[in-house]
Amino acid sequence: MADQTVIKFDPYGHAETGLQTWEPIPREIIASGDPVQRGHQYFGTESERITSGVWDCTTHALKREPYEVDEFMIVLEGSISIEDKSGHTETFRAGERFIIPKGTDCVWKQSEYARKYYFIHDNPSSSTPENAEDLGTIRIDLSAELPEVTDHDASLYLSDIPDMGMSVLYSDPAGKFAAGIWDCSPMKRVPTTIERSELMHILEGSGSITNADGVVFSFKAGDTFLVPIGMGYQWQNDEYVKKVFCSYTP
């Protein structure tokens, strides 16, 4: 049986069908506007309730309520504003990335058209953090210093052990849904099978991922793609690489 492949995202959706009109946002949760939403889902797992893709929508505002999912977003066009329970508003513009943890008491506001990539865990049985009243949006700060990863297993590499840094900016209570920043000096891993589904957005550098069939996916700065759980996985980067990631590990 053929192995899975890396899924490269396009901000305009599928090459042939583009972005398709989705079901309307329920009227009972809309505070203002008459939004029209479109999207293309690149990846989804029914058992774990994971979905990832590209979405756009016209101007609107939603009513205040706890956010029902864990969601990581990359804003591609326009802006999205999130008001917390104290009335403070954070605005995220094109090129910025952020997370809304499940249970966050907030208001979604769009004063203009917006488009985004998303990675969502929407399992209603997943727990909400005990400190839900303190939750708020988490902005991905690319200038943050990344703590060094030191617990390397030399058997994982066909190269020298790399210099690696990682900052996990959010993890759900179960430790399954996580998002953050990672960087690495040149390295080559041994072939393995990836045990998580991971969305990656490359900030710097380039490299490749080879699946179990020997299909090579090359990536470079600016690319966004998803590696599905269970795929044969051999990572190689011949130069420094830095990425933003969001993953779900069952």
Whether 131 has a pLDDT exceeding 90, the answer reads no
Range of the structural domain that residue 234 is part of: 154-248
Number of domains making up the chain? 2
For 7-28, letters b (16+ CB in 10 Å) and e give: bebeeebeeeeebeeeeebeee
Whether residue 145 is contained in a domain is answered as no
Structure tokens at 138: 């988490």
Same domain, 29 and 104: yes
**pLDDT of the residue at 132:** 65
pLDDT greater than 90 at residue 231: yes
Same domain, 97 and 178: no
- Give residue 11's identity as a one-letter amino acid code: P
Mean pLDDT (the chain, rounded)? 95
Q: Is residue 14 part of a domain?
A: yes
Q: Please check whether residues 165 and 106 belong to one and the same domain.
A: no
Confidence of residue 129 (pLDDT cuts 50, 70, 90): confident
The predicted-structure confidence for 3-55, as pLDDT tens digits, reads as follows 999 999 999 999 999 999 999 999 999 999 999 999 999 999 988 899 999 99
Over residues 50-83, the pLDDT tens digits come to 999 999 999 999 999 999 999 999 999 999 999 9
On whether both 202 and 242 belong to a single domain, the answer is yes
- Asked if residue 119 and residue 176 are part of one domain, the reply reads no
Residues 23 and 134 in one domain: yes
Asked whether residue 94 is assigned to any structural domain, the reply reads yes
Query: What is the CATH classification number for the domain harbouring 206?
Result: 2.60.120.10
Secondary structure, 3-state, 102-116: CCCEEEEEECCCEEE
Same-domain pairing of 35 and 62: yes
Q: Give the span between the Cα atoms of 14 and 24, in whole angstroms.
A: 21
Single pTM value for the model: 0.96
- Considering the domain architecture, whether residues 24 and 132 belong to the same structural domain is answered as yes
pLDDT score for 126: 83
- Rounded to an integer, the average pLDDT of 120-143 is 86
DSSP category for residue 23: P
Same domain for 235 and 162, yes or no, is yes
Residue-level pLDDT at 12: 96
Q: In terms of Cα–Cα distance, which of 209, 206, 204, 214 is closest to 228?
A: 209
pLDDT of residue 119: 98
Residues with Cβ within 8 Å of residue 16, at least 6 apart in sequence: none
> What is the Cα–Cα distance from 187 to 236, expressed in whole angstroms?
6
Q: What is the pLDDT of residue 19?
A: 97
Residue pLDDT, tens place only, 183-204? 999 999 999 999 999 999 999 9
Q: Are residues 129 and 11 in the same domain?
A: yes
Residues 18, 66: one domain?
yes
Q: Does residue 122 lie in a domain region?
A: yes
| Within-domain flag for 128 | yes
Residues 13 and 123 in one domain: yes
Half-sphere exposure of 29 (CA within 13 A, CB side): 13
